[in-house]
């Protein structure tokens, strides 16, 4: 009898980790095998399988075409725990505070040209809607996750989105102080709802949010929509900003891309984990093929409105596609 089965012997770690035969990491102790609603596939909750939420979990999580026999085996490649997330992001936020402070002191916003301000109010500050929608989508990944190790990554991603929603709100307010009549803080909803430049992303994001199958939601959100948005909004608008003397925007979008890169790393790890299971590759490829054209259309509509950036759309599309290719998926 192994020690683990001998109840008279003390344990060195939780029994579910004892088979590792080594001291588990803090990450493993606090993050693994925390969900039990997957244990009976026909009955996620004690309430009847016919109540709407039970049906929802059965249909959209348990019966998703994306399968894995052991979701709990997934590991965040960076093994982030709550404690280390805050340490990391407190440092990142201190850096952003510094950027904002420095640029405020030098009255950076005052020096922005009238034409660039028009670009910002049209293509930058309405970004709070899609950034928040990505937060909502990330929360959906949390709500229906199969495994705690996946769920935690999605939680950090949702928090990251809230981070940038608030920083964008901050910038909106700050710009409105320097330029009270430029429309900052008052015209964003109309731009998001009606400006042709945004309609591609709006369609993509609204449809992503209602892609309720967990697997499809993950693909549409993390492999398609978020990378497309980040490429267009952060990288291409960021490049245009540098060309128009908006150094602050460039530095802020660099900081935001650090979070996006983390999202891509765990997304890649999850894809690597999933494609080992026969059948998943085709399912994933199918979704990518279904969603990628919408994303390309969104990038084109948005990037065509960027000033002096003739290559923006093709660069953004290529970058998003190359990343998907690097995952071994149909691009």
Partner 1 sequence: MALLDRSEWYDVARATNWTPRYVTETDLFPPDLSDPFGLPMTAWEAFDEPYKVSYREYVKVQREKDSNAYSVKAALSRSKYYDSADEGYLSLLKLHYGAVSLTEYQACQAQGRMSRFSKAPGMRNTATFGMMDEMRHTQLQLFFPHELLARDRQFDWAHEAAHTKNWAVLGGRHTMDDIMMTRDAITTSIMLSFAFETGLTNLQMVGLASDSEAMGDFTFSNMITSIQSDEARHAQLGTPSIEILIKNGKKAEAQKALDISFWRVWRLFAILTGIPMDYYIPLKNRHMSFKEFMHEWVIKQFARQLSDIGLEKPWYWDLFLDDIENHHHCQQGGIWSWRPTVWWNPPGAVGPKERAWLEQKYPGWNDSYGRYWDVITGNLLDGHEEKTHPNCIPVICNMCQIPVSNRPGPKWKARVYQLDYQGKRFNFCTPVCKWIFEQEPERYKDFETIVDRMFSGVIDPPTLPQVLIYMGIGVVSNGGRDGYDYSWVDGHRKQAAE
Q: Which stretch binds partner 1 (CB under 8 A): 113-121, 153-161, 241-249, 263-271?
A: 153-161
To partner 1, the closest distance from the beta carbon of 46 in angstroms equals: 4
Is residue 23 within the footprint of partner 1 (CB under 8 A)?
Answer: no
Contact with partner 1 (CB under 8 A): which of 127, 137, 215, 238?
137
For residues 55-84, which are near partner 1 according to CB under 8 A? Answer: 56, 81-83
Helices (H), the chain: 15-18, 26-31, 52-57, 82-105, 114-119, 128-143, 148-178, 188-194, 196-209, 214-218, 226-229, 237-243, 247-275, 280-303, 312-326
25 scored as a contact of partner 1 (CB under 8 A): no
Q: Under the criterion CB under 8 A, does residue 256 sit at the interface with partner 1?
A: no
- Residues in contact with partner 1, counted by CB under 8 A, come to a total of 86
Q: By CB under 8 A, which span of 49-57, 113-121, 253-261, 300-308 interacts with partner 1? A: 49-57
Q: How far apart are CA 256 and CA 232, in angstroms?
A: 13
Pick one of 20, 22, 41, 53: the residue that binds partner 1 (CB under 8 A).
53
Our CB check for partner 1 shows the closer of 20 and 87 to be 87
User: Which part of the chain contacts partner 1 (CB under 8 A), choosing from 9-17, 221-229, 283-291, 299-307?
Assistant: 9-17
**140 interacts with partner 1 by CB under 8 A:** yes
How does DSSP classify residue 145?
-
User: How many angstroms separate the CA atoms of 257 and 185, rounded?
Assistant: 24
- CA diameter of the chain: 77
Q: What is the DSSP letter of 23?
A: P
**Residue 80 Cβ, how far from partner 1 at the closest point, in Å?**
11
Q: Which is nearer to partner 1, 156 or 323 (CB)?
A: 156
Least distance to partner 1, CB of residue 68, Å: 18
In whole angstroms, the minimum distance from the beta carbon of 86 to partner 1 comes to: 4
Considering only residues 191-230, where is the footprint of partner 1 by CB under 8 A?
A: 192-193, 202-203, 206-207, 209-210
Q: How far apart are CA 168 and CA 257, in angstroms?
A: 14
- Which residues, 104 to 123, sit near partner 1 by CB under 8 A? 104
Choose between 75 and 202: whose C-beta lies nearer to partner 1. Answer: 202
Q: How far is CA 203 from the centre of its chain?
A: 17
Q: Is 34 in the site for partner 1 (CB under 8 A)?
A: yes
Tokens 């301000």 sit on residue:
117
Out of 13, 187, 304, 309, the only residue in the binding site for partner 1 (CB under 8 A) is: 13
Per-residue DSSP letters for 157-215? HHHHHHHHHHHHHHHHHHHHHH-TTS-TTTSHHHHHHH-HHHHHHHHHHHHHHT--SHH
CB of 307 to partner 1, least distance (A): 25
Q: Please tell me the number of Cα atoms within 13 Å of 159 on its side-chain side.
A: 14
Report the alpha-carbon distance of residue 297 to residue 322 in Å, rounded.
Answer: 17
φ, ψ (nearest 5 deg) of residue 12: -90, -20
Is the distance from CB of 309 to CB of 303 less than 8 angstroms? Answer: yes
- Is 155 among the residues that bind partner 1 (CB under 8 A)? yes
Q: How far is the CB of 275 from partner 1 (least distance, A)?
A: 26
Shortest gap between Cβ of 179 and partner 1 (angstroms)?
A: 14
CA–CA separation, 324 vs 148, rounded Å?
A: 25
Closest to 213 in 3D by CA, of 272, 270, 275, 287: 287
């Amino acid at each position: 009898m192994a020690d683990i089965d001998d109840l008279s012997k003390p344990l060195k770690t939780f029994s579910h980790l004892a088979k590792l035969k080594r001291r588990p990491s803090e990450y493993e102790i606090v993050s693994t095998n925390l969900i039990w609603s997957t244990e009976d596939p026909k009955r996620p909750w004690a309430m009847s399988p016919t109540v709407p939420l039970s049906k929802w979990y059965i249909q959209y999580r348990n019966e998703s075409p994306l399968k894995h026999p052991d979701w709990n085996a997934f590991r965040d490649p960076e093994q982030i725990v709550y404690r280390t997330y805050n340490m990391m992001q407190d440092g990142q936020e201190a850096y952003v505070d510094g950027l904002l402070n420095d640029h405020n002191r030098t009255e950076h916003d005052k020096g922005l040209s009238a034409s660039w301000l028009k670009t910002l109010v049209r293509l930058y500050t309405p970004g709070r809607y899609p950034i928040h929608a990505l937060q909502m989508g990330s929360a959906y990944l949390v709500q229906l996750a199969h495994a705690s190790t996946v769920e935690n990554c999605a939680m950090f991603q949702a928090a990251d989105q809230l981070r940038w929603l608030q920083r964008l709100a901050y910038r909106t307010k700050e710009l409105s102080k320097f330029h009270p009549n430029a429309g900052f803080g008052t015209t964003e909803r109309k731009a998001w709802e009606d400006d042709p430049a945004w309609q591609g992303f709006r369609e993509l994001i609204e449809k992503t949010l209602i892609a309720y199958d967990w697997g499809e939601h993950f693909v549409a959100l993390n492999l398609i929509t978020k990378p497309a948005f980040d490429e267009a909004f952060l990288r291409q608008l960021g490049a245009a900003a540098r060309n128009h003397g908006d150094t602050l925007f460039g530095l802020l979008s660099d900081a935001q891309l650090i979070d996006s890169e983390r999202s891509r790393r765990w997304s890649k790890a999850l894809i690597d984990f999933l494609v080992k299971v026969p059948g998943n590759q085709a399912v994933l490829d199918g979704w990518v093929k279904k969603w990628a054209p919408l994303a390309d259309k969104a990038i084109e509509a948005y990037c065509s409105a960027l000033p002096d950036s003739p290559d923006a759309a093709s660069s953004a599309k290529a970058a998003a596609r190359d990343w998907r290719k690097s995952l071994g998926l149909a691009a």
